[in-house]
Chains A and B, each alone.
Chain A
Amino acid sequence: MCLCLAVPAHSDDGDAILKKVDRNLNPEVFEMYRKLINLEPDGSKKEFIMFTIKKGRDRIASVFLSPASEKGRATLRLGENMWLYIPNVGKPIRITSLQSVTGGVFNNADIMRLDYSAEYNCEKMEQQEDLLVLHLKAKTRSVAYDSLKMWVDDKKLLPSKIECFASSGMLIKTLYFKKVKDFGDGIVRPAVIETDSPLHKGYKSIMIFAKMKKRDLPDEAFTLNFLSRVESLR
């Protein structure tokens, strides 16, 4: 009933679909605001707001605007290099993709996500009713999740769910893409990503996207020396 097509091993079609998914999720160069909400089983929550810029497949920088305790913290990712700037410390320090600058279920790789096609190859693609299921394998060992299983709307080419696995095959977390919204300028994408994890039962993290728009940005905006000044681009 559900399986109509399966393209095994390395899938060029799957890679092409993945690149389209990337472009549908965001333009090549853009800015956006995001609210991150960590929800605990007792209903308590903590919110963060960040301003983010991204250019190309593997350059992204963010700065926290709130809460007050986090304001000014900035992160930069250039491919597999990641840094965190803490205003008190006064200099960027290297961090790793598995850490989390916010706590909660999202880690740095989720918050500073590169294009999926920059980090993963599609090994297999299946059709399940009106969804494509992409089986993605990390290109290198330094990627946070060893493999992904991505459910994609076969018409809109937008993801609806992604399961993230460790190299052992253990499910680390699931991302749910919700509330598709027109941000203008041809950007139509889910405005909410929810995530939960079997490793943190009862906990949930939510990312809400706002004011996503195309913007010309110089390469120098994605450098270590500029990290403390990212907020000046708002």
Chain B
Amino acid sequence: MKRTLFAFSVYVVCLLLTFLQPAFGEYEYGFDLSEIEKEVEKKPYHIGGFLEFRPVLFGLDKDSAFYKIKFYDKDEGSTLEQYNSRLRLEGSYHKGIVGAFFRADSTLWYGYEGWDGDITLLEGFLALKPGPSFALEAGKRVAQWGKGYAFNTVNFVSRPKDPDDPTEPVEGYYLAIADWIKSFGGPLKTLAFTPVILPVTESINDKFGEPDHINFAAKLYGLLWDTDIDLLFFTGKSRTTRYGMDFARNITENLAIHGEFAWLPGFDKKSIDSQGRLYTQKSDIMKYLLGIRYLTTNNMTFILEYYHNGAGLDSNDADNFYSFVDRAYDKYLSTGNSSDLNKAAKLSQGSLSTFKPFRNYLYFRGSWSEPFDILYFTPAVFSIINLNDRSLSITPELMYNPITNLQLRLRGGLLIGGKNTEFGEKQNDYKVELRVRYFF
């Protein structure tokens, strides 16, 4: 029944496409510059966004740790479905050197727990732009730092992006950010300095770190010998002080390399003991990543990224956590007492809820742009491998923009791993997802 409903959603979308297609066929190429000049007339405001429908089918792994934590007292069968819809609105207004911008998401979804929804302001800030050399912005804003594609180690003042969907925007923090830019001749072509002030209180940026502190961060960027180089730092009492550098460079017309390095002295590193307790230890932490992007002559792009997170959980932590969940589940089955499972759930919503919480990962993505002369069609596959426990996810993907402003994405995700491994202990064995977006 569930799978029938999911398949029906996919069928309806395909049917709509079939009907829409002829309306966009048969074009006579004309040449009228005055028409184009009318089209490009500037308005001081802009409103846009997209409407999204995204049904997902999950294939559950009933033996996994996360299934036990979430569904120990429920029987949801072997599959779960979820129907998600989203309205993203973006708007801006500019008058002279002053401007304002916002981006907000309204989401509504239906899953095994019924209907739910949320409204999130992703960004909303005021900007002062007296000229190309200087800008000042204040409000809720994303300051996305770093060169990594799937991962980042130097994103000191932004939320981590999701490696499964790294091109999706994250929610910003409330901050003030300035940008000073200077161009030069010679090997150093550009120098830019970007200071940031980020306050944390009980009501503002409360998820960033310890409240009631004002934090400072800065980025110094240079384009030196055709290489992007950033030097970055963060200091303040909400999080420990940290230093970073990153770089990116085109080696040839079809090969680029990038890297990031972060040093976090005195970091409160979290670990899990055999009783499922979280404890912290101060230690000096190093995080780094190295990546390449390669384009073949037939338009295939390969991205490879190695990510080391010195603050991540290690194999002992993983073993301790999964063993604790197994014992908690056995206890529930024999006594009906779910207190340890609830404790595990809290733990999983903390340290284990961050994207890719373990120590060493390899990310691979291969995509083929417009194969067989199919315009705006990109098949791709990406994989995230936990190098410590050898578990992995494999996600094939078909992306197609059949008509202007309509984007379709069909994805399948397969999680592979044994007992006590990251991807083996996830709630799902596989998932299938269709995403339909209409931009306006």
A232 to chain B: which residues have CB within 8 Å?
94, 99, 129
Chain B residues positioned under 8 Å from A68 (CB to CB): 48, 50, 405, 439-440
- Which of B73-81, B245-253, B388-396 is the interface stretch? B245-253
B36–A42 CB distance below 8 A: no
In the complex, the 8 A-B pairs of residues with the closest C-beta atoms, listed nearest first: A219-B183, A90-B144, A68-B439, A69-B439, A220-B132, A45-B27, A225-B192, A91-B144
Chain B, Cβ-Cβ closest to A201: B373
Tell me if B39 is interfacial: C-beta within 8 Å of chain A: yes
Chain B nearest CB, measured from A234 CB (Å): 5
Instruction: Assess A96 versus B295: contact at CB under 8 Å? Given A49-B36, A78-B189, A82-B250.
Output: yes
Taken together as a complex, chains A and B put the C-alpha atoms of A10 and B192 apart, in Å, by 40
Contact check: which of A91, A142, A181 meets B250 at CB < 8 Å? A142
Return the contact of B190 from the options A47, A67, A143, A224 (Cβ within 8 A). Answer: A224
Least CB distance, B160 to chain A, in whole angstroms:
13
Q: B253 near A143 (CB under 8 angstroms)?
A: yes
Do residues B226 and A103 form an inter-chain contact, with CB atoms below 8 A? no
Verify B375–A38 contact, CB threshold 8 A: yes
CB proximity to B under 8 Å, residues A76-96 = 78-82, 86-91, 93-96
A35, A82, A86, A202: the one within 8 Å of B167 (CB): A86
Interface residue? B407 (CB, 8 A): yes
Answer whether residue B31 sits at the interface, using C-beta atoms and an 8 A cutoff: yes
Q: Is A128 an interface residue (CB 8 A)?
A: no
Indicate the size class of the contact surface on chain B: 35 or more
Q: A213-234: which have CB < 8 Å to B?
A: 218-226, 229, 232-234
Besides A33-B37, A98-B299, 13 more A-B contacts (Cβ < 8 Å) are A37-B29, A44-B24, A66-B39, A67-B439, A80-B226, A87-B90, A95-B256, A96-B254, A103-B370, A192-B31, A219-B183, A220-B132, A225-B221
Determine, out of A12-20, A156-164, A204-212, the stretch whose residues face the partner at the interface: A204-212
Given contacts A68-B48, A78-B189, A208-B33, contact A218 B223 (CB under 8 A): no
Alpha-carbon gap, A40 to B26, bound state (A): 10
State A87–B122 Cα separation when bound (angstroms). Answer: 12
B401 at the interface (CB under 8 A from A): yes
Q: Is the C-beta of A30 less than 8 angstroms from some C-beta in chain B?
A: no
In the complex with contacts A43-B26, A43-B27, A69-B401, A79-B99 CB distance below 8 A: no
B48 near A88: Cβ-Cβ < 8 Å? no
B228 at the interface (CB under 8 A from A): yes
B369: chain A residues at CB < 8 Å are 99-100, 103
Binding site for B on A (CB under 8 A): 33, 35, 37-40, 42-47, 49, 51, 65-69, 71, 78-82, 86-91, 93-100, 103-104, 141-144, 166, 179, 181, 191-192, 200-203, 206, 208, 210-211, 218-226, 229, 232-234
- B33 near A181 with CB under 8 A, answer yes
Contact of B375 among A40, A222, A234 (CB under 8 A): A40
Query: In the complex, what residues of A have CB within 8 A of residue B439's CB?
Result: 67-69
B256 CB to closest chain A CB (Å) equals 5
- The complex places the Cα of A33 from the Cα of B42 at a distance, in Å, of 12
Judge whether B40 and A211 touch: CB under 8 Å: yes
B373 pairs with A203, CB closer than 8 A: yes
Q: Which of A46, A49, A100, A220 contacts B183 (CB 8 A)?
A: A220
Q: Inter-chain contact count A-B, CB under 8 Å? A: 183
Complexed CA–CA distance, A99 and B149 (Å)? 17
Q: A80-B250, A96-B254 are in contact. Are A218 and B33 (CB under 8 A)?
A: no
Contact call B167/A33, Cβ cutoff below 8 A: no
Complex Cα–Cα for A202 and B375 (A): 12
Contact of B404 among A40, A47, A97, A218 (CB under 8 A): A47
Tell whether, in the assembled complex, residue A89 and residue B167 are in contact, meaning their CB atoms are under 8 Å apart: yes
Residues of A close to B301: CB separation below 8 A: 99
Q: Is the CB of B208 closer than 8 A to any CB of chain A?
A: no
Residue numbers of B with Cβ under 8 A of A are 21, 24-27, 29, 31, 33, 36-37, 39-40, 42, 46, 48, 50, 90, 94, 99, 129, 131-133, 135, 142-147, 149, 158, 166-170, 179, 181-183, 189-190, 192, 194, 221, 223, 226, 228, 248-250, 252-256, 258, 293, 295, 297, 299, 301, 369-370, 373, 375-376, 401, 403-405, 407, 437, 439-440
Which of B179, B226, B401 contacts A79 (CB under 8 A)?
Answer: B226
Q: Which residue of B lies closest to A144 (CB)?
A: B253
State whether B40 touches A65 (Cβ < 8 A): yes
B27 contacts across to A, CB distance below 8 A? 39, 43-45
Given A67-B439, A99-B369, A103-B375, A141-B169 contact (CB < 8 Å): no
Q: A93 touching B149 by the CB < 8 A rule? A: yes
Contact B37 A211 (CB under 8 A): yes
Q: Considering residues A35, A81, A100, A203, which has the most beta carbons from chain B within 10 angstroms of its beta carbon?
A: A81
A163 to B111 alpha-carbon distance, docked (Å): 56
Q: Are A223 and B167 CB-contacts (below 8 A) given A142-B250, A210-B37?
A: no
- How many whole Å from A100's CB to the nearest CB in chain B? 7
A96 touches B376 (CB 8 A): no
Q: Indicate if the CB atoms of A210 and B40 lie closer than 8 Å.
A: yes
Contact A80 B31 (CB under 8 A): no
A169 to chain B, nearest CB (A): 14
A44 CA / B21 CA spacing, docked (Å): 9
B contact residues around A86 at 8 Å (CB): 167
**The residue from B25, B256, B375 contacting A46, defined by CB atoms under 8 A apart:** B375
Q: How far is the CA of A223 from the CA of B252 in the complex (A)?
A: 21
Whether A88 contacts B167 by the Cβ 8 Å rule is yes
State the CA gap A39–B347 with chains docked (Å): 54
Residues of B near A206 (CB, < 8 A) are 29
A35:B36 contact, CB within 8 angstroms: yes
Closest to B24 in A: A44
Structural contact, A96 and B256, CB atoms closer than 8 A? yes
10 pairs of residues in contact across A and B, judged by CB atoms under 8 Å: A33-B40, A35-B39, A43-B25, A81-B223, A95-B256, A98-B297, A99-B295, A223-B183, A225-B194, A233-B132
Task: Give bound CA distance, A67 to B21, whole Å.
Answer: 18
